[in-house]
Amino acid sequence: MDRNIIVEDFKQTPLEKQKFEIVERKGLGHPDTICDAILDRVSIMLNMEYLKKFGRIMHYNADKSLLVAGEVETKFGGGTVKQPMLLIFGDRATCEVEGISIPVEEIAIEAAKEWFRQNLRFVDPEEHVRYQVELKPGSAALTDIFKRKGRVLSANDTSAAVGYAPMTNTEKLVLMVEKYINSKEFKKEFQETGEDVKVMGFRKNDELNLTISIAFVDRFIESEDDYFRKKSEVLENLNSFVEENANFKKVTIHLNTLDVPGRGVDGIYLTVLGTSADGADSGQVGRGNRVNGVIPLNRHVSSEAATGKNPISHVGKIYNVLTHRMAEKIYEQVPGLEEVYVWLLSKIGQPIDQPAIAIAQVIPQPGVTIEEVREDIEEIMNSELENIDKFCMDLAYGKIPLC
């Protein structure tokens, strides 16, 4: 198939060699990550229900969500939840096909409850969260896309996405640190730490500054002195972990920098449930990590949220993830490249394996010309687009993490 593919030399200094870099990671219990993760779970469960009943995935875009913070009273030794959080699900989903109904509301709520049970130790999904499902039937034009035959469906939108490879040392370490803090090993040693974690990395030349926020759980904190003692122990552990895993001249870690001694519960980062969503911060789909797990402020990034979107027609999901996959394969399989960016642009109504344009911008190593690598890069991009139907089913079954 003749596709519109462009491969060009990208005239830019690789990010790893630039003077500064800023990378953020919103952790498992951050309100924005909660929304992304739950809507991803809703998407997967809808896929399973549609496949079970109809043998194919029907139209839906469950990619709008708001987690409204609740209200709590934090206390040393354990506070109370005064008002639960409110999780709102929004957008469109097929709820009936030829007289057969799909319990969309029940699926959405059960997906959320299941995710809370599995990921947030102190959140009771029955007691601490209320649910509001606003998933309505889709428009006739977009729904009709799913009735058309073919190996792949048409794009439901005109949209662009970009992905890159490889991840820098800063990106990898920021991601690694958050995952370590939310690991079972870490929580066993420091049960007082909640799942709401944020890691902000700022690299200047070969020195990295990490500002980390961790929600402490008040039931495990007896006093202000106890808080600062346990915080110091956590910081000591993180310094050791980073020293063992970092590849920088110097790494400096700052933890919970809003804390002020002498102000009691008002001057320290305490939560009742391990997430700031229990009484401080609301969350929303699309405000958190990109599909490779970080928020890389120096990079070109896609504007659309991937979680909750349909995996077989919605290019805001498919291309968002596929551009990163393409970039990774090009970087791994084509020798002589320092950095790769891949762009895909869809045209509504055109098959998703035939983007309006596909572009690879690469930074060759010194001595390597674009002509030496062009054919290999085009072959990889063509292969990925040719097999996009298999890739879409991996998305549908949740085999590819998105946040």
Q: What is the mean pLDDT of each run of 10 residues along the chain (403 residues)?
A: 92 96 98 98 97 93 96 98 98 91 96 98 98 85 67 90 98 98 98 98 98 98 98 98 96 98 96 97 96 97 93 96 98 98 96 97 97 97 97 96 90
Domains identified in the chain and CATH numbers: 18-25+169-282 (3.30.300.340)
Q: What does DSSP assign to residue 4?
A: -
pLDDT at residue 13, as a whole number: 97
pLDDT at residue 403, as a whole number: 87
Classify residue 97 by burial, with Cβ atoms within 10 Å: 0-12, 13-18, 19+: middle
pTM above 0.85, yes or no: yes
pLDDT at residue 142, as a whole number: 62
Could you give the residue ranges of the DSSP H alpha helices within 18-60? 31-54
CA 352 to chain centre: 23
Q: Name residue, tokens 């500064």.
A: 20
pLDDT at residue 207, as a whole number: 98
Q: How far is it, in rounded angstroms, from Cα 399 to Cα 311?
A: 12
Could you give the residue ranges of the DSSP H alpha helices within 89-217? 104-119, 140-144, 169-181, 184-189
Query: E strands along 179-282, which residues?
Result: 193-204, 207-217, 250-255, 270-271
pLDDT at residue 141, as a whole number: 54
Q: Nearest CA to 234 among 264, 252, 212?
A: 212
Classify residue 180 by burial, with Cβ atoms within 10 Å: 0-12, 13-18, 19+: middle
Q: What pLDDT, in 10s, does the model give residues 50-63? A: 999 999 999 999 99
Q: What pLDDT, in 10s, does the model give residues 80-99? A: 999 999 999 999 999 988 89
